[in-house]
Structure 1
Amino acid sequence: MTILAENLKLPCGATLPNRLAKAGMSEQLADRAGRPTDTLTRLYATWARGGAGLLITGNVMIDRCGLVEPRNVILDDDRAPAAYKSWADAVHAGGAQMWMQINHPGRVATVPLNRWPLAPSASREPVPGYNLRRPRQLSGSDIQDLVRRFARTAELAVGNGFDGVQVHAAHGFLLSQFLSPLANTRDDSYGGDAAGRRRLLLEVVDAVRAAIGSGVPIAVKLNSKDFQHGGLDEAESLDVARALAGAGVDLIEISGGNYAEPAMTGVHDRGRLAGNNPYFLDYARKVRDVVDVPLMLTGGVRTRETMERIVAEGAADVLGIARPMAFVPDYPARILAGELEPELPKGPPRTGYRPADGYLQLAYHNVQFHRMAKGLAPQVNPGPGTVARAIAVISRNFVSQAVVPR
């Protein structure tokens, strides 16, 4: 028996069956109206049989006027409950729990799907493609509407059979933008200082808790830092973690980076052995020193030996596995069965430009999601055309969803 097979009781009273989770990854498999499709359900049914005790969805958008990518799932009304229930049921049939990751892109809303991005402040994202339009600064009433939307999406998720929700406050999306001194230059109560910058996140957590009750898990995905000079740093992130613990969250998932510096894809870790050096482990240890909330560590976690060591020392309680499950959908089961490190193909070539390299990583893995969604096995040794095919699929999605149905 491995420590990774032990269950974990969360503060709300819910229990995870083991210490391995599929972390959120963007699938881009919804229909044009943002509803889950049969292909998306098939993908998750495959992952549900893969040994992880918990599956966390990719981005589910709280507002159809704000998409991260084309074909994102959207849950902002109760018009099609059967599609969401089928998605959750497919995971439960495989023996895993299903949490919905809820999100708003803010100023990185996808062009051309969103006419006018919203942001904490009217400053552009410094990444080509996202800096074409100056975003509109959110007003006080806009902010309160966003809080209500997060709560409503969480309520609908749980009502449609999901076991919990994860509030996405990392990777440069809207709540992450509010936490960043670079993106948030407001001088009102939602900016100005560290307490103001984290106010919206805490209000969202409180509203979500009120909407779903005390017995349903709430997780938050949090950046260790933004990896940008002047952005969210570790010291301030630790203060956010303390505040989240005080707000009663059940799990904090640790990640890092954003569109300009995609540290979550490993672009800052070239040349090191990722399996023995998870990207954000040092920060996880610092969080453990200041909060008792269960922690989930995602990024570069590959080997059974490393996973067992992290859980045994208490640096994290759950290990998030993301990109490996694009090629080995039963990666968690193999780890639990004793494989030290299931074999994975090499990643795509790097250009040296971090935003482009982050995008290539996502595209390289996304094509495998689409294969599994069609009932095909992932490619064991992807050829040089894999990234090109993935980019072509994403491009077709952009064209087909140029106007989001209302």
Structure 2
Amino acid sequence: MKADTNLLNQPLALTNGSVLRNRLAKASMSETLGTYDNRPTLGLIELYRRWAASGLGLIITGNVMIDRRALGEPGNVVIEDERDLPLLQQWAKAATDQGAAIWAQLNHPGKQSAKGLNERNIAPSAVPFREDMAALFETPREATVVEIQDIIGRFGRTAAVCKKAGFSGVEIHAAHGYLLNQFLSPHHNRREDEWGGTPEKRRRFVLAVYAEIRRQVGDDFAVAIKLNSADFQRGGFTEEESMETIRALVEAGIDLIEISGGTYEDPAMSGALHVPKKSSTAAREAYFLEFAAKVRASLDVPLMVTGGFRSAAGMNDALRSGALDVVGLARLLAIDPDAPSALLQGRDSEQRVRPIVTGIKPVDRMGVMEVLWYTRQLKRIAKGGEPKPHEGGLSAFLKSVLAGGWGTYRTRRLRARS
């Protein structure tokens, strides 16, 4: 494929006035490269400099948490104030100095945080995880209205610090079973007050977070959102509710919507549940392209789809269909951080994303290795090394469990001293 016919090379103008230099984006992945007291590190700068050098148009960070009391994993970066502004500026410049836009993904885990990491986990309602996951995740406490208002304000403050640090924008994480997704889901949100009880009230929290961020950063700063097409969970967030949420966000002025799907309990975002029913669907590489086409048919908003893309031809076919504007890549960039350079020239990466299994059925069912194994590859790149695409799943799992246990202990100890 010639570079001049490769749709990946086309720039994209967003409604806030910014322009992405091409249609390739690095989607969010869990890095856990922060310190155990949740501050950014030089490893993040090295990793993002490597990705920016590959030619990506947009780079979205891993989880940036808005509250030190609400971590998703040990080693999360937390931004509550300007204490780490110099390092945050270096992180942003690692991308922008090479022409890439960089958006910080802002998140609150809600109930989706491993047992013992936080002093307590809150959620819209006190709904436990399914039985086989109860040993890993505690039943959360229902959030109070005061706590809900505090969280909304924290999203805004974190976004404002990111803007001051030189990030090109922020992405609100409202997918994959985290807090904002929990508020949207009738399974997790069983409230009967102004924050739940109907689809309109369940999406009130997401809209309030967006409004507060926009109030604090202004109209010239990119604000995007990552949203599930559906939760793929009985009684969860449906495609119909997702479409109505997208409609409300478009009316509110969102700059871009990234479409994904699934939760920790049903990890469709990793492909674990993506079994196409039609041959025409199977021929498409992207997991959520069909839903994106439905959105595009009724709404005018830049769309990014992440999950399942394998080839330059498949990415171009998706762009040519008009169903999306930005191709999101994640796992491929953990095993081949230079892949965008080839894709922008119309060539495929020599690496292929493969299922990561341990042989331990409960672990493999959760899809947890789609986080743990790839996180180990990112840490290698952050140290100036190369990933190990053929690392075994079981050994990576055992090493990750040991590291995670130590990280949880260190995080709790440091919090107790502060």
State the TM-score, normalizing by the size of structure 2.
Answer: 0.92
Question: What are the superposed Cα offsets for residues 343-375 of structure 1, whole Å, 9 maximum, x if unpaired?
Answer: 226332265547744101211111111111111
Structure 2 regions of 5+ residues with no counterpart? none
| 1:158 counterpart SS class | helix
Give the match's secondary structure for 2:412.
coil
Which of 367, 373, 391 is 1:358 aligned to?
367
Are positions 1:14 and 2:18 aligned together?
Answer: yes
Structure 2 match to 1:222: 227
Kindly indicate whether residue 126 of structure 2 is the aligned counterpart of residue 122 of structure 1: yes
* Aligned match of 1:79: 83
Using a 3 Å threshold, how does the CA distance of structure 1 residues 396 and 94 change in structure 2: closer, same or farther?
farther
Match of residue 368, structure 1, among 377, 396, 399: 377
Change (3 A) 1:308 1:130: farther
Name the SS for the 1:172 alignment partner: coil
Q: CA deviation at 1:341?
A: 4.8
Partner of 1:164: 169
Moved more, 104-113 or 231-240: 104-113
Q: Distance in 1 between matches of 2:187 and 2:353?
A: 37
- Cα RMSD after superposing both structures: 2.0
Q: Is the 8 A contact 1:182 1:230 kept in 2?
A: yes
Q: Distance in 1 between matches of 2:40 and 2:306?
A: 25
Distance in 1, matches of 2:229 and 2:135, equals: 23
Q: CA deviation at 1:110?
A: 3.1
SS of the residue 1:59 aligns to: strand
Query: Partner letter of residue 52 of structure 2?
Result: A
State which of 403, 412, 415 in structure 2 corresponds to 1:402.
412
Equivalent runs, 1:376-395 vs 2, <5 Å? 376-383=385-392, 385-395=395-405
Q: Please name the residue that 1:61 is paired with.
A: 65
The CA distance in 2 between the partners of 1:139 and 1:373, in whole Å, is 39
1:69-125 CA deviation, whole Å, 9 max, x = no partner? 010000011112111111111112332111000010111133212111111112223
- Counterpart of 2:215 (choices 199, 210, 214) is 210
Question: CA contact under 8 A between 1:262 and 1:354: conserved in structure 2?
Answer: no
Cα distance, 1:6 vs structure 2: 0.7
Q: How many angstroms does 1:303 deviate by?
A: 1.1
Secondary structure of the 1:108 match is coil
Q: Which residue of 2 aligns with 1:252?
A: 257
Q: 1:245 to 1:132 in 2, by over 3 A?
A: closer
Alignment of 1:5-404 (within 5 A): 5-126=9-130, 128-129=133-134, 133-269=138-274, 276-344=284-352, 346-349=354-357, 353=362, 356-383=365-392, 385-404=395-414
Letter in 1 for 2:43: T
Q: Please list the CA deviations of residues 199-253 of structure 1 after superposition, one character each: whole Å capped at 9, or x if unmatched.
A: 0100111110111010111000000000011100101111011011011000000
Q: Closer, same or farther in 2 for the Cα pair 1:25/1:37, shift >3 Å?
A: same
Determine the C-alpha separation between the residues in 2 that align with 1:110 and 1:256: 21
Structure 1's 345 and 224: CA in aligned 2 closer, same or farther, altered over 3 A? closer
**In the alignment, is the contact (CA less than 8 A) between 2:264 and 2:366 conserved in 1?**
no
What is the alpha-carbon distance in structure 2 between the residues aligned to residue 239 and residue 84 of structure 1? 35
Aligned length: 406
Contact 1:67/1:114, CA 8 A, preserved across alignment: yes
Q: Which runs of 5+ in 1 are unaligned?
A: none
**Residue type of the alignment partner of 1:183:** H
Contact 1:45 1:90 in 2 (8 A): yes
Once the two structures are aligned, what percentage of the paired residues are identical? 41
How far has the Cα of 1:151 moved from its partner? 0.3
What per-residue deviation string (whole Å, max 9, x for no partner) do you get for residues 307-354 of structure 1?
111112210000100000010001121111121453226332265547
- Assess if the C-alpha contact under 8 Å between 1:51 and 1:331 holds in 2: no
| Post-superposition offset of 1:47 | 1.1
The superposition leaves residues 37-94 of structure 1 with CA deviations (integer Å, 9 ceiling, x where unpaired) of 0112111111111221111001100000000101000001111211111111111233
